[in-house]
Amino acid sequence: MDKILFLKPVLCERLWGGRNLEQFGYNLPAGKIGEAWVIAAHDNGSSLIINGKYSGKTLKEAYKEDYKLFTQKQYEKFPLLIKILDASDELSVQVHPDDNYAKKYENGELGKTECWYVLDAEKNSQLIYGHTAKNHEEFNKKIDNKEWDKLFVKENVKKGDFFYIPAGTLHAIGGGILIYEVQQNSDTTYRVYDYDRVDKNGNKRELHIEKTKATTTVPFKKIVPDYTKTIKEDAIITNLAQERYFGVYKIELDGKTELEKNKTGNLFTVLNGAGVIKIDGQTFSLKKGDSFILTTACSNYELVGEMFLIGSYDRA
């Protein structure tokens, strides 16, 4: 049974994208590439497995065939979606529905709770995280009157910042920010404001005003991360989130460390540096941009090198 599976990302053109994803070794097509779906099993894009029994199949196909290799419990579909986002321009101000709303109004789709780790940010970069409205009447009025500056809460952002964004949180990534995103396996977004931009065909993108009003949490409550750090040999392991749908942690390695994996599958991306991972006598090379899954068949592993990785796992 395969203990480690490597994946090829799905690359997505976006109005706000750029070329910064090239630094991860990805062969970008022409255009503004805004997203790399590095571990994905969604109808709108599924990563290709490039080693082991399922080599040549998509993660979506492999999960459908043998869910026990990836998760302890059986979900209707693979539970998480992992992305790297290159926001060369502002993303639309948006909100995502929760599971109940999405199931009812989006053909059984999952809701979308997510989190962001800031990999890089230009000087004076900002993002939108929340709103000022104290009640729904005030929220709806500010939207109807297009009082965006009075409604949106802006946060200064720097490399290494982390944001947990439950479904119902109004948010937007600002320009000049590179993000690693862990989220529920959903592609449902409701836009409330898009800077009056037009696409390459001269059309404005669709807004979802009524759905935004129906799904945004009012009032907004900022969630401050509670980090816990553990030193394990030559590694610093920082717990970033342990929430309803996922756990997320980062590993900063300068040397080697032996680690024990929990029972479910763990999803990793090497975001800087290089090294190797050793599992039961087998050694696999790792470099910046590599994404892989340690399956349920893997219990212990050793990392060697100088690397920065982010790992995640399902908790639903």
Residues 167 and 38 in one domain: yes
pLDDT at 199: 80
How far is residue 291's CA from residue 309's CA, in Å, rounded to a whole number? 9
Count how many Cα atoms sit within 13 Å of the Cα of residue 76 in the half-sphere of its side chain. 10
Residues 34 and 146 in one domain: yes
Residues tagged in the binding site annotation: 96, 114, 171
pLDDT at 202: 86
Residues 156 and 187 in one domain: yes
Residues 170 and 278 in one domain: no
Q: How many domains is the chain partitioned into structurally?
A: 2
Q: Is 162 exposed, middle or buried (0-12, 13-18, 19+ CB in 10 A)?
A: middle
Residues 208 and 93 in one domain: yes
Residues 126 and 147 in one domain: yes
Average model confidence (pLDDT) across the chain: 97
- Give the CATH number, domain containing residue 301: 2.60.120.10
Does 152 map to a domain?
Answer: yes
Domain boundary (184, 215, 246) is at: 215
pLDDT at 201: 86
Active centre residues (catalytic): 191
Q: Hey, what amino acid is at 178? A: L
Structure tokens at 173: 């990534």
How far is residue 148's CA from residue 218's CA, in Å, rounded to a whole number? 16
pLDDT at 5: 99
* Residue with tokens 């068949």, as numbered in its chain: 297
Going 86 to 243 to 305 to 297, the CA torsion angle's sign is: negative
* Residue with tokens 């996922």, as numbered in its chain: 246
* Residue with tokens 């090198």, as numbered in its chain: 305
Q: Give me the residues paired with residue 255 across strands.
A: 305
Does 221 map to a domain?
Answer: no
How far is residue 177's CA from residue 122's CA, in Å, rounded to a whole number? 6
Q: pLDDT tens digit string along 193-246?
A: 999 998 878 889 999 999 999 999 999 999 988 899 999 999 999 999 999 999
Structure tokens at 168: 């119902």
Residues tagged in the binding site annotation for Zn(2+): 96, 114, 171
How far is residue 110's CA from residue 101's CA, in Å, rounded to a whole number? 9
Among 308, 267, 262, 266, CA closest to 287? 308
Spans of the chain, pLDDT less than 70: none
pLDDT at 73: 93
* Structural domain range at position 289: 228-314
Residues 19 and 92 in one domain: yes
How far is residue 125's CA from residue 157's CA, in Å, rounded to a whole number? 6
Spatial neighbors of 36 by CB under 8 A, at least 6 apart, are 9, 10, 11, 12, 21, 24, 26, 83, 84
pLDDT at 300: 96
Residues 97 and 156 in one domain: yes
Residues 232 and 253 in one domain: yes
Residues 137 and 272 in one domain: no
* Residue with tokens 């009640």, as numbered in its chain: 135
